[in-house]
């Protein structure tokens, strides 16, 4: 089931049959919007959350440290390498910066203040995972960084200024080994997710993926965007166990549960993958991308964690935080 991506014509296929959109969806969404009374955008301004860049001058004692910058953007320091995941510093997750979902809080650390980045990892081409302005700035500031992404997405990165020789595209199950200046190495493996791609009408023409980051002593699973599917069990058995498992909980609705799993699906996927290590909720708390209240994904996940004894790892945005095996981190910043 976990295999290379398949295409029909120019379009990549999901690992299991998946309906995206479909007849009548827009009318069902409009009906829910008319009835919606949820606090989808915070009533009060959040933050500011500020990252102390001086922290990065010292390597993490545990070997693994993660700074969650909001939504799905993370700086992962794993066994000597720095991996910047799905960076979006743009004001809006949108094709234009004057309209569309707007950030709930400012980025905790300016791109100009980042330490040297070894790898920039981009899972797929959606606006909340690949910010045009962000990529353009990083291409100037981090000229020696390697860029690892999914099949086809390299053309977008190149369009935004990343040099072609710095880009590696991966098919599902392919692995690339990247090295830091000091000789430390990390293997990045692309794996299937149940989602789709497209920054316009050209859906499915570029690949989407989840990833495993394997350092010398730690392994992290980054789920990116995905609906729940049966392949999580195989991923856990073949590539786990994971010290930290990053799974999306936000932008969920029953109308599109095939491509976004929500908190219940994340808990199910985590258990399917063995339930070992720590579950880190991502893809929430920064953009209004669905119909639920902005706090709802985290509130629901906490309920599930209490019922099923899941170990959560949820630091405050912008806080460089060590990952220690089996040690939970819980922040109530969102309250």
Structural contact between residues 152 and 179, judged by C-beta atoms closer than 8 angstroms: no
CB atoms within 10 A of CB 210: 27
| Nearest-angstrom CA–CA distance, 108 and 242 | 27
pLDDT tens over the chain, length 335 residues? 799 999 999 999 999 999 887 656 666 666 666 677 788 999 999 999 999 999 999 999 999 999 999 999 999 999 999 999 999 999 999 999 999 999 999 999 999 999 999 999 999 999 999 999 999 999 999 999 999 999 999 999 999 999 999 999 999 999 999 999 888 999 999 999 999 999 988 899 999 999 999 999 999 999 999 999 999 999 999 999 999 999 999 999 888 899 999 999 999 999 999 999 999 999 999 999 998 999 999 999 999 999 999 999 999 999 999 999 989 999 999 99
Output the pLDDT for position 22: 61
Output the pLDDT for position 182: 84
What sign does the dihedral 255-267-14-18 (CA atoms) show? negative
Give the Å distances, CA to CA, from 113 to 87, 125, 137, 242.
Answer: 14, 25, 12, 30
Burial class (CB in 10 A: 0-12, 13-18, 19+), 164: exposed
Output the pLDDT for position 202: 87
| Assigned CATH class of 61-325 | alpha beta
Output the pLDDT for position 27: 61
3-state DSSP call for residue 109?
Answer: coil
Output the pLDDT for position 32: 66
């Amino acid at each position: 089931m976990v295999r290379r991506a398949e295409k029909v014509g120019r379009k990549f296929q999901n690992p299991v049959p998946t309906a995206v959109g479909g007849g009548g969806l827009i009318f069902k969404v409009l009906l829910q919007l008319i009835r919606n009374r949820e606090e989808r955008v915070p009533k009060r301004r959040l933050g500011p959350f500020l990252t102390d860049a001086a922290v990065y001058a010292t390597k993490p004692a545990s070997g693994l440290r993660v700074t969650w910058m909001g939504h799905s953007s993370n700086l992962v320091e794993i066994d000597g390498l720095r991996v910047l995941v799905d960076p979006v510093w743009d004001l809006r997750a949108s094709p234009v910066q004057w309209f569309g979902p707007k950030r709930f809080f400012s980025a905790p650390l300016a791109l100009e203040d980042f330490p040297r980045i070894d790898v920039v990892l981009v899972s797929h081409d959606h606006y909340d995972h690949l910010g045009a302005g962000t990529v353009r700035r990083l291409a100037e500031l981090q000229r020696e960084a390697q860029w690892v992404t999914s099949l086809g997405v390299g053309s977008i990165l190149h369009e935004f200024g990343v040099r072609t020789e710095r880009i590696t595209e991966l098919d599902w199950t392919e692995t690339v080994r990247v090295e830091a200046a000091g000789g430390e190495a990390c293997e990045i493996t692309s794996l299937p997710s149940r989602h789709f791609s497209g920054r316009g009408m050209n859906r499915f023409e570029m690949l989407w993926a989840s990833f495993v980051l394997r350092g010398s002593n730690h392994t992290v699973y980054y789920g990116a965007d995905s609906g729940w599917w049966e392949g999580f069990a195989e991923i856990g058995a073949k590539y786990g166990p994971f010290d930290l498992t990053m799974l999306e909980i936000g932008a969920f609705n029953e109308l599109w549960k095939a491509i976004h799993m929500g908190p219940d699906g994340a808990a199910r996927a985590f258990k399917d993958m063995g339930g070992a290590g720590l579950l880190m909720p991502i893809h929430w708390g920064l953009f209004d991308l669905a119909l639920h209240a902005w706090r709802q994904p985290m509130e629901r996940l906490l309920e599930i964690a209490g019922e099923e004894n899941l170990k959560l790892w949820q630091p405050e945005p912008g806080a460089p935080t060590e990952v220690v095996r089996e040690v939970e981190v819980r922040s109530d910043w969102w309250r």
